[in-house]
Structure formats: structure tokens, C-alpha cells
Structure 1
Amino acid sequence: MTAGRQSSTRRRVIIIGAGPAGLAAADAALRRAAAIVLIDSAPRLGGQFWRHPSPTLDADESLQHNWSRFTDLRSSIRDNPAAEVITEGQVWAIDREPGRRTPRIQLATGPVDGPGRELSSLTGDAVVLATGAHDRTLPFPGWDLPGVVTGGAAQAIAKADRISVGGRDRARVVVAGAGPFLLPVATSLAAVGARVLGVYEAATIRRMSRGWLPRAPWLAGKSPELTGYLARLARHRIPYHPGHAVLRADGDDRVRRITIARVDDDWRPVAGTERQLEVDAVCVSHGFTPRVELPIAAGCRLTPERFVQVDAGQRTSVDDVYAAGEITRIGGADAALVEGGIAGHLAAGGAINDAELGGLFAAKRRLDRLADSVDDAHGIGTGWTDWLTDETLICRCEEVTNGRVRSALEATGSRGLRAVKLSTRAGLGPCQGRICGRTLEQLISAGGPLTDDAVIDRRPIATPIRFGELARLTDDQEIDNQGSDQ
């Protein structure tokens, strides 16, 4: 089923994801006089980066970064008659319609848990994938306790509801993990009343210096942002501890204390440096995992690091399919905006040598060096497995422990992901391996490369869908404008 509202000569671009990359792609495509369909699963545009406050609260720009850029993009899209915006739209599958070059988007529109979603499909002349990423948290003993949350979840609650994790006023919170994202998480929590006891960064000073200093001339543009975060840490008296990691969490009905220790350059705990802190919550993020289920379904080739492979114009290995933002590399919102602008321009029929792309390509070169620095300075070290015990949960959905995974590897003599999943049920729970999948792969491949071609991100059904919804799906449904930005 396709929409027939666009003119016969105007290119129609389908954009999946309305965070920074998707919004920039939509704006760029509209500027090239294309018609666009912008789809996002949330009720309002902005993605995780520009998460809105609850409807009962006024916008608080102090908790947002570059909010004016969002409002400008939203206005340019909302006010353009060639733009169709579908919110609460879950793309549950991508397949191929016979005789068409571009993939067919299978869409369920309505509240994600609602029983009355409308199922439909649509196609266009080009597709831009901008599905983003989610937090990655390495397991440690007690990480399944209530009160242990991801950094992204803690920040989302602060932005949406202006409350802190921890369950009480002036909750004692620790922010830990790796990467620059820890800084906005800590400052957001402090702004909504949390008592942030410290930011514990696993990367050592030596490793951060090796990652950041060689590219310092290219990173000058980010200095004001970094200075701003450091000033807020100082204002709230939040100490920053490089070379430290959370080794375990303890408690009864929720987390009550954590054990922190120094780690070396490879994230291996340094014996004798352990100490405990009494906490109400701990927010942990060790980077991000790209959401590549839909790119895989579309047939896009991945890099060895499991990002979507793109060329200089953000084109994937599939004709007329583009990718932008965190699914091509974890580079932050600024990089996502640049990549989205390039992808939208070319998807709408522009050329890679068009003059208006010159500034975007220059910015991309600089931001690529920033991403290189983040990878080199804060990438996950190999020694983190030293803090695991046999009782540490790896797959929380199916309650599969590290010991069970290790026993399965020894019993089967296999280093295949499929064999371990089937013998332990790790990665087969409700989240389908989104939380534990990359960790499981790392544990299996510790003794050598994986011996099968199984990929944890290959999910033909990308989001849950009811059998009753599938039964209502017909080939002749027609999609209309089923949502609008609020």
C-alpha cells in the first residue's frame, strides 16, 4: 500500500526516526522540494536527545542542549505542506515489494501498548534510516537491583518529569561508566535535586590523554560545551573520578550500596582499591549500541564494528537507502545533524558535489575526529570481565548467569552464538537480546571468533506485534497522515 498524495514528479522520501538525524534529513529533503514522510515511535518529535517534558510541565531549556535548533527544525517541517508526520508509528518490519527498488515499510500506528493500532505499509523513492542507539550497560553483580538504571533512563526521567531516580528528595546518586555522556547525565540529575556523589569514569587519565590530545586542534569547537559541563559539576560540588568503575551493587528490595574500585587502562580492577558507598540509585552507561534491526532487515551491509556501512553521501549498500546518526557511528547529536542533512539532501535527488553540502562535509570531517577520540579514550576495555562472578546475571530477561553461559560453552565445545542462545535461552527473552546481546557475543568470543553467522541484531520482527493485528493486515490499505507533532 502506498500513499498517493505526492505529485508524480516530486520525490518521496521516507524517514524513520525523528531525533537529530531524522529531523535534519527531513528538513534537507524538504529544501530540495521533496515530499517526506517522517515516522517516529514517540508521541512527539525530538528523539531521545530532545526528549520533551510531560504535558503538564512547561519546557525547561536548562535541561536541553541546542533546543533552539530543535524548534527551528520542527517548525520548518510542521509548516511545510509537503511534510507528513506520523507519530506513535512503530516500524515493525521492512520487506521487499515485488518490482520495487526501495524497501516496503510495515507500520503500526497508535499507542505502543494499545489494542487498536492501525497496520499499514508504505513505500517511497528513497528511505533514510535514523533509528539511533540505546545505552549499553556492562553487567556486574547486582546490576539487576531496582535503583540501578542506565544513564539514558535517568536523564529521560529528569527531562520528562523533572524528578531524580532514587525515590526521595536529595537522593544519593552515583553516575558511572564511560564516555562524555556521563557529564550531561550528572548535571541533569543535579538540576532536578539529586545529590550526585560523583562521576566515576572507567577510562584512566593516561588513556583519555592518548585519545584526546592528538586531535586537540580539531576539537576546539567542543570546548565551550565541555567547559559548561565542568562548571556545572563544580557548582554542584560533584567530583569526577577517572579510572574508576562500579564492581557490584548490593541491597535488599533495591540498591543500598555499591562497591567502586580503581581500574587500569584495560578496565581491570586494581586489587586493594575497593571502597563502598551508600546510595539510593546508580546510573551506569558504558557507551551506546546502535539500533540496526531495521537496516539489517532492509539488507544494508554492516561494518566489522556492527554499524551501518555508508559512503561519503550516507548511502548504504542498498540502492536508495540512506543511513544517518548513531547507526553509522556513535558521534553525538552534532554529528547526527550533519549526517542527516547530507542523507536528506541526496535522498531528495541532490548531488554529492552540490555547493550547499560543502559546509556539512567540513563539519563531518571535524566531528569524525571527535568520534575517533571518544572511541580511543573511552572504548570498552577487555578487563571488565574480571568483575563478573558465576552468579552475575548476563541475560536479565531469562535470568541466565555468567556461570551458566560459561558452562554451556564448556559443555557444547561451541563458540557459536546460536548454540549458546538455544542451550541457555540467553537473548531469547522479551528484549530479544537488546540489553545483553553484545555482552553475550563478547563473552562467547573471548576464546576466539564466533563460529557461526548468527547476529544478535537480526530480528525480522523489529518490535512486538499482536497476532490479531497481523490478521487485520490487508494488501490494499492506504496510509494517510496518522499523526502530527504536538
Structure 2
Amino acid sequence: MNVVIVGAGPAGLAAAEHALRAGARVTVLDQAETPGGQYHRMLPEVYAARRPDRIQHGRAEFDRRRRVLAHPRCRWWPGSTVWAFDRAEKRVHVLRGPSDGSGRRRLTLVPDALILATGAHDRTLPFPGWELPGVYTAGAAQALAKGERVAIGGRVLVAGAGPFLLPVAESLLGVGAEVVAVLEANPASTVRKGWSSRPWRLAAHAGKAGELVRYAATLARHRVPYLMGRAVIEARGADRVREVVTAKLRADWSVVPGTERTYEVDAVCVGHGFSPQPELAVAAGCVLDDGFVRVDTVQQTTVDGVFAAGEITGIGGAITAAAEGAVAGRAAAGGTPDAALLRARDRARTFAERLAVAHPIGPAWRSWLREDTIVCRCEETTYGELTRATEDESCPGPHALKLGTRAGLGPCQGRICGPTVAELCGGAERHHRPIVQPIRLGELAARIEGEPE
């Protein structure tokens, strides 16, 4: 069996490991130059770190990455962008080389099985001033800290929803930033309800409790307050962010009047969970459920021979992604996942379900918005323009709405604003295109390596 895996994060690496164990030949592709994804992001080799594993989540995971990619039946293709999938021939179209450079090589692969582990990206809800320089997504702030040892600012506020805020704050503290506070938008009652329900099931996730204790100790050591039921509702500044306004929220995320507080900052990072990256799965013809790729008990999608694992099947974190990847790798290689793999995957999924209950996005967040608040940063489409277009009978449906407002049609192709526009406009979805990643016209016209001219 020849298995191609798109994505070298926790899901992709676990899939590669178990496909290799089943005897398959494996090709792992990733746009990054180093494996690991966001969770196991490494320092560039030019830094010549003596102990690169120290910024990773456990030595065992670091060793597994090296072991898998050094396997004689594994090909590792860094700097590889999968820009299309030919359904008829089940051909994977790849560009190899830096995405911002010229001269990328055009290649194709025809695998016996394809595993999609394309992951997710940050979701950030808009608020007045979020387009100012100095406002970062939580993932971008962590990527700079972990991957480049660069702090996004000297005085930083971390805000949003979910436990991901804690490792982001830890990473910023580790590169010398002053974190003035960490704000969880959900009140304590919501978080407590999600995590305290059927507590005996948490025994399988004792390692997460250890991580939580470490994060809490780090915040305490640096005297960083962790405040629940509070959010950033406005960023202010002329040339860049200079201060942010925060407020106390109710359980539905509506603002409690009179609770506003202002922080002086030179940077703020905000994250309200994650959005999957299903573009390649859609190009392959896979069916989605609420934006996530539908899979069966062995992680196979609705397309024969195409499997999916990790955040594109449901947001659940690295442990869930790796557990799903293990099942997908075994099944894609022609094997039958054993009961232990399936149990581990199912236990991890229960943690993901609990995470969603404890850290939801409250429906009243739109009360933060003003008429002139930008929702689509690429096209500078405002909240007022979107609401007026939604009420306009001459723009029926999501396609007409986007053509009329340009929301989601800019360089990011709706990856940032897509879920927000969908929620604000009553179910409008971003367009899914056969070309799933940017490609130059010259590259599109170039000869595919290995094929006759």
C-alpha cells in the first residue's frame, strides 16, 4: 500500500507511524519546513538549539517524530502545498518550494489511500479595532514565540475562550513578554459545568490535569491574573493598538454595563477556538457535517480510500488528533484497527466533547459590534454593510450576499471571516473551490515533473 498523508501535525505523524507499522509505504507532506504542526512547533535549524525537545510537549513525542520520518519506507516532503485533488484519477497535485518564492516544482501523487490531517486555524471574533496593527490571533502569537523566540510585544493581553489561552500565555512569558492578564470569556459557572459533569471520566486524561497545574503555577509565578467571564470588546489606537477595553460578560456573552476596564498594551492576542481547514476534503468530494469532515468508525470519509483525522473532523486538541490519526493510519494501510486504538480514540473524543461544553461561543457576542466594525478585514466589509445586505431581497442566498459585500472574497478566501459571516448572515457559507491553495498562473501552466512534454 502507498499512503499519502497531508499534514505533519499530531494527527499526521500518528497516522504515518501506524501506517508504517502495518507495512505501508508512506509519504508525508506539509507546508512547513519542520514537522509537528502548531502543537509541536520547532525552532528553525539555524538556531542550533542544543535541547530543542524542551519546548515540546514531552520527549516521547519529539522522539516519535524523528523515528517516523527517518523510517526507510517514509518519504518526508516539507515545504509542500497540496493545491488540488483530481477526483476522477485520485491524483494529488503538489507544489514543492517556499510559498512566497518562485520556481516551485509541480508534481503529482497517485496514492492507494489518502489521509487528510490538514488541521485548523484560529477563530477570532471581530470587535471594534481588531484590524489594528498589534492585534494578533492567539495561534500567531504562539507560533512566533515557539518557532522564532519572538514576542509580539512588551506588554500583552491574552483573551478569548478555551484552554489554548494558557499555553499561549506561557509561550509569551517564556520569551520575555509581560502578560498583563489572561481573560476567559466564559464565566466560571459555564466552565465548571462543562468540566465537572461525570468527573470519573476525567481519570483517562490525568495528564491534562498536570498541564493545567503547570500553567497555573507559571501564571502565579509571574503574577498574571486569570479572569473568567471577561473579554476584549474594543481595541484603540491610531497607528497601532495602544489600549484595549474589556468588560464582564454574562453566560450568553452579552456585556454587563458599567464593568468596562481599560488596559494599556502594545499588543493583544485573541482566540475564540478554532475553525477546521476542510478545503482539500471538499475538493475530494467528502461530505461535511456542520463544517467538519464526516468519517466512519475507522476514520474513512464518504469517499472511498480517503481518510481524515484531527481537527478537520472535530476540534479536540492534540491527543484526540493523534488518536484519530493512529486509527486512520492503520485502516488506510489495509489493516484493521485493534480494540485498543479504537478505545483510545473514543476516550479522546469524550474529552473533546467536554471541551466544547465548557468553552462555547456565546450567541450574544455580536452585541460588541458597531455599525462601522470591520468583519472581513481583507475587503474591509463592515457589520452594517453585512446586515443591510442580509435584509436586501435583491441579494438572496450566500453567493449573492458575498458578491454584493465582497465578504470572504479577499486574499484569505474566507478562512478568517467565513464562520463569522456565516453566523451573522444566517447560515451563509464560504465558497469551496477546486483550487484549494493559492497558485500562480505560471505554475498552473507549468509542466508536471515526470510527465512528457
- TM-score w.r.t. length of structure 2: 0.96
Q: 1:30 aligns to what? A: 20
Which ranges of structure 1 fall in alignment gaps of 5 or more residues?
1-10, 479-486
RMSD: 1.5
Q: Which residue of 2 aligns with 1:129?
A: 116
3-state secondary structure, aligned to 1:255: coil
Between 16-25 and 469-478, report the one with greater CA deviation. Answer: 469-478
Instruction: Identify if the C-alpha distance between structure 1 residues 476 and 161 changes in structure 2 by more than 3 Å, giving closer, same or farther.
Output: closer
Match of 2:228 in 1: 242
Q: How many residues end up aligned between the 2 structures?
A: 447
Q: Which of the numbers 282, 301, 312 marks the counterpart of 2:287?
A: 301
- Which amino acid counterpart does residue 384 of structure 1 have in structure 2? W
C-alpha deviations, 1:318-358, integer Å up to 9, x for none? 10111000101111111111111110001001114xxxx33
- How far, CA to CA, are the matches of 1:64 and 1:165 in structure 2? 20
Q: Match of 1:72?
A: 64
Q: Of 331, 340, 348, which aligns to 1:359? A: 340
Match for 1:393: what amino acid? I
Partner residue of 1:421 out of 377, 402, 413: 402
Structure-2 separation of matches of 1:265 and 1:195: 29
Is the 2:14–2:322 contact (alpha carbons within 8 Å) kept by the matching residues of 1? yes
- Residues 137-165 of structure 1 show CA distances to partners (whole Å, capped at 9, x for unaligned) of 00000001111001100001111221211
Does 1:348 pair with 2:371? no
1:107 alignment partner, SS class: strand
Q: Quick check: 1:262 aligned with 2:241?
A: no
For residues 402-421 of structure 1, what are the structure 2 equivalents within 5 Å?
Answer: 402-412=383-393, 414=395, 416-421=397-402
How big is the shift at 1:63? 3.0
**TM-aligned CA deviation for residue 474 of structure 1:** 4.1
Q: Mapping of 1:273-292 within 5 angstroms?
A: 273-292=259-278
Q: Which residue of 1 aligns with 2:98?
A: 111
1:41 aligns with 2:28: no
CA distance in 1, matches of 2:307, 2:130: 37
Q: Does the aligned pair in 1 maintain the 2:327–2:345 contact within 8 Å?
A: no
Closer/same/farther in 2, CA of residues 389 and 292 from structure 1, 3 Å limit: same
Task: State the Cα distance separating 1:414 from its structure 2 match.
Answer: 4.6
Aligned mates of 1:277, 1:334 — CA distance in 2: 35
Aligned-partner Cα distance in 1 for 2:248–2:32: 39
Distance 2:59 2:401 in 1: 45
Moved more, 238-247 or 222-231: 222-231
Q: Structure 1: which amino acid aligns with 2:301?
A: T
Superposed, 1:9-24 pairs within 5 Å as: 11-24=1-14
Unaligned runs of 5+ in 2: none
Partner of 1:226: 212
Partners of 1:119 and 1:463 in 2: CA distance: 13
- The residue number in structure 1 matching 2:354 is 373
**SS of residue paired to 1:412:** coil
**For the residues of structure 1 that align with 2:58 and 2:384, how far apart are their CA atoms?**
45
Q: CA deviation at 1:467?
A: 0.8
> How far is 1:68 from its partner?
3.0
Q: Contact 1:175/1:198 (CA < 8 Å) preserved in 2? A: yes
SS at match of 1:419: helix
Does the CA-based 8 Å contact 2:13-2:68 persist in structure 1? no
Equivalent position of 1:160 in the other structure: 147
The correspondence for 1:458, drawn from 411, 416, 432, is: 432
Q: Which residue of 1 aligns with 2:171?
A: 188
The 5-angstrom pairing of residues 312-323 of structure 1 reads 312-323=297-308
Instruction: Name 1:4's counterpart in structure 2.
Output: none
Q: Distance in 1 between matches of 2:216 and 2:364?
A: 28
Determine if contact 1:120/1:477 at 8 Å carries over to the other structure. Answer: no
> Are positions 1:473 and 2:447 aligned together?
yes
Preserved contact between residue 215 and residue 373 of structure 1 (Cα < 8 Å): no
Give 2:106's aligned amino acid. Answer: L
Question: Quick one: distance in 1 between partners of 2:353 and 2:441?
Answer: 44
